[in-house]
Every structure is written in structure tokens, then in C-alpha cells.
Amino acid sequence: MSKKAVWTAEEDENLKKYVDLGDLSYKKISKLINKSGLSCWRRANELKIKNSHSVRKHYFDKSYWEIPNEENSYWAGFLGADGCLAYQGGNCQITLTIGTIDKNHLEKYRKALGYTGPIQIHKSKPNNLVKVRINSNKYWIDHLKDNFSLAPQKTYRLAPPNLDEHLSLCYLAGYTDGDGCILYNKEGGSVRIKWVSSSIEILKWIKNIIDSQYSSLVPERKVANILSINNYYVYMISSARSAQFIDDISKINLPTLDRKWRKPEVLAYVARQKEKYPHLFDLKPCNSV
């Protein structure tokens, strides 16, 4: 009969550390701490440590959020608007839920993250929703927090991302697709963009971007302020500044929602503004990083 392996406190800590990563089999862990795979499995059971590697059915790109770029900055903005980050039962969950009308958009998100799991249907009234929920993605949490200021319980405390000017525009495009709307006024023939949030900090950040980067037709005109309505805040721009912003976003290769950014009446308005006030659109080209 073989002797039971003796484990030191340091070996227990190392075992827990490697198991918690969730992407190592017991065979690989055994080589890291110089124990047999069977011994590691038995000790993990004794300590009631769960290795999600052995039960994981779906996979995803673990380094997706590590280095900010145009694409992940856009999706981070979308998560900031419509996503949910949570710790549950020792696991981390990141869920993105949107209306069924934008199911194809959620498919783009799923593919961008390299997620092999399905899009789930969430029955709701009056309309059903679709969602992608990824579990045990604890390696994403630090990258989302450090680069994009995304953390659990973000509804009332969503903070601005830690990005440069160009990638901030990419994030704002994603946020606009989630908690923003592009409105065409048929009577006035103009376009307005409105952002809504329960976090005043994120709207202050948006206002600062708009005020610093986009010119009004009348420079001395008082710029729009953030409005407080019940338990949320609203910020809106219109006319030349909305056209300049839409034009800048159109120059970046982002997976934006066609139904918002590429409506014929919106594109026609931007074209008219560019023809009428070319100096406003030549001030600041939107350069890539």
C-alpha cells in the first residue's frame, strides 16, 4: 500500500494558486510543484478546490483585453453600457445582454472574444433578449479594470477608461451603441446624439471629449450641460458637433451598429454639413494609433 503524500503549507498554497488559474490540467500542475497528477487531484479534493479546467466546455481568448486596441476599446465601451461584471460562487462572470434585434451584433462580440459558447435566449416581456455569459474569466478582471475602469457594480460608478485620445473615441463609439442614440429630426433636418447613464462621471468624461475636440458653428455659444432626470443623467449634442463626431467614428474600422450610424438620413446630414462647413471637418483628422 502506497504512503499518503505529505503536503506542506507552501505546496498547498501553490496548488491553490495554479488550480485557481482555471486553465491548467492536474498533469501540468504536477510538473510545476513536483507532485504526481493523482496526488494533486486528491489534495485539491481534500481542500475542496475546484479546477474549472476539467469541466470547462467553452473557451475564449484569455488575453483579449490585455493590450488596448481599437476593437477591444469599442467592446469595452459596449460592456460599460450594457454589460454586467460579477463575482459569483468563486467565479467571475461577464455578461452582455441586448435586444434580439441586435443578435448579429452579439455574434460579432462572441467571435471577437474567441468564445466558443452559444448565444443564449433570455425570455422577457415585451421583447426577448439575447446574451453571452462567460464564466471563470478571472484573468480578464484585472485587464478590464486597469485599461477600461470596468468593475463589478458599475451602474452608478462607471468611471472613464484609461485610454489615449484615439482609443477613447473607440470606447465612446461602443458606449454610444449601448447607452446612446443618434436621432434625426425630420422637421429641422438635423441630427442629435444623446447619451444616458446613472454615472455622472462617465458623462462628464464624454462632455469633456466633445467640448475639447469638436467645434460649434458659433464658438461663443454656451455648450450643452449634463441634465439630471430622476435617477439618471443625460448629455446631448446636435448640429455641427454631432456631424463631426459621426464623421470621425466612420473613419475608424469599428464593428458599430449599422442601424444607428449608417442610416441614410444621418449620412446625408453629415455630408451636407461637410459640404457647407468644410473647415470644421478639416481641423482634426482622426488618426489611428
Residue 106: the pLDDT is 96
Name the residue among 169, 179, 203 with its Cα closest to residue 83.
179
Is 123 inside any structural domain? no
Is 1 inside any structural domain? no
Is 245 inside any structural domain? yes
Residue 164: the pLDDT is 96
Give the residue, 74 or 35, on which the prediction is more confident.
Answer: 74
Q: What's the mean per-residue pLDDT of the chain?
A: 87
Give the residue, 165 or 282, on which the prediction is more confident.
Answer: 165
Of 39-53, 225-239, 259-273, the range with the lowest mean pLDDT is 39-53
Please calculate the CA angle 56-58-61 and round it to the nearest 5 degrees.
110
Is 34 inside any structural domain? yes
**Domains in the chain, number:** 2
Give the residue, 221 or 280, on which the prediction is more confident.
Answer: 280
87 to each of 84, 93, 96, 133, 232, how far by Cα in Å?
Answer: 10, 6, 15, 13, 25
| pLDDT tens digits along 98-130 | 999 999 999 999 999 999 888 998 877 777 899
Residue 3: the pLDDT is 61
Q: Is the pLDDT of residue 169 over 60?
A: yes
Residue 91: the pLDDT is 67
**Averaged over 187-208, what is the pLDDT?**
94
Q: Is the pLDDT of residue 52 over 70?
A: no
Of 1-5, 69-73, 191-195, 218-222, the range with the lowest mean pLDDT is 218-222
Is 80 inside any structural domain? no
Q: What is the CATH number of the domain that holds 226?
A: 3.10.28.10
Name the residue among 278, 205, 217, 279 with its Cα closest to residue 242.
217
**DSSP annotation string for 112-174:** HTT--SPPEEE--SSS-EEEEEEES-HHHHHHHHHHH---SS-TTT----S--HHHHHHHHHH
- Dist CA 33 CA 235 (whole Å): 55
Is 16 inside any structural domain? yes
Name the residue among 198, 186, 194 with its Cα closest to residue 210.
194
Q: Is the pLDDT of residue 152 over 80?
A: yes
- Dist CA 7 CA 17 (whole Å): 15
Q: Is the pLDDT of residue 8 over 60?
A: yes
| pLDDT tens digits along 75-93 | 999 999 999 998 765 567 8
Is 112 inside any structural domain? no
Of 50-64, 146-160, 164-178, 272-286, the range with the lowest mean pLDDT is 50-64
Q: How confident is the model at residue 27 (pLDDT cuts 50, 70, 90)?
A: confident
- 20 by Cβ neighbours in 10 Å (0-12 / 13-18 / 19+) ranks as middle
Q: Cβ distance 184 to 260 under 8 Å?
A: no
**In the chain, pLDDT over 90 holds for what percent of residues?**
54
- 52 by Cβ neighbours in 10 Å (0-12 / 13-18 / 19+) ranks as middle
Q: Is the pLDDT of residue 242 over 80?
A: yes
**Averaged over 212-226, what is the pLDDT?**
72
Place of cell 498554497: 13
Residue 29: the pLDDT is 86
Residue 4: the pLDDT is 66
- Dist CA 49 CA 221 (whole Å): 62
Three-state secondary structure call for residue 194:
strand
Element (H, E) at 234: strand 232-238
Element (H, E) at 274: helix 264-276
Is 147 inside any structural domain? no
The count of C-alpha atoms lying within 13 angstroms of the C-alpha of 29, restricted to the half-sphere facing its C-beta, is 27
Domain that holds residue 201: 178-281
pTM of the model: 0.79
Q: Is the pLDDT of residue 200 over 70?
A: yes
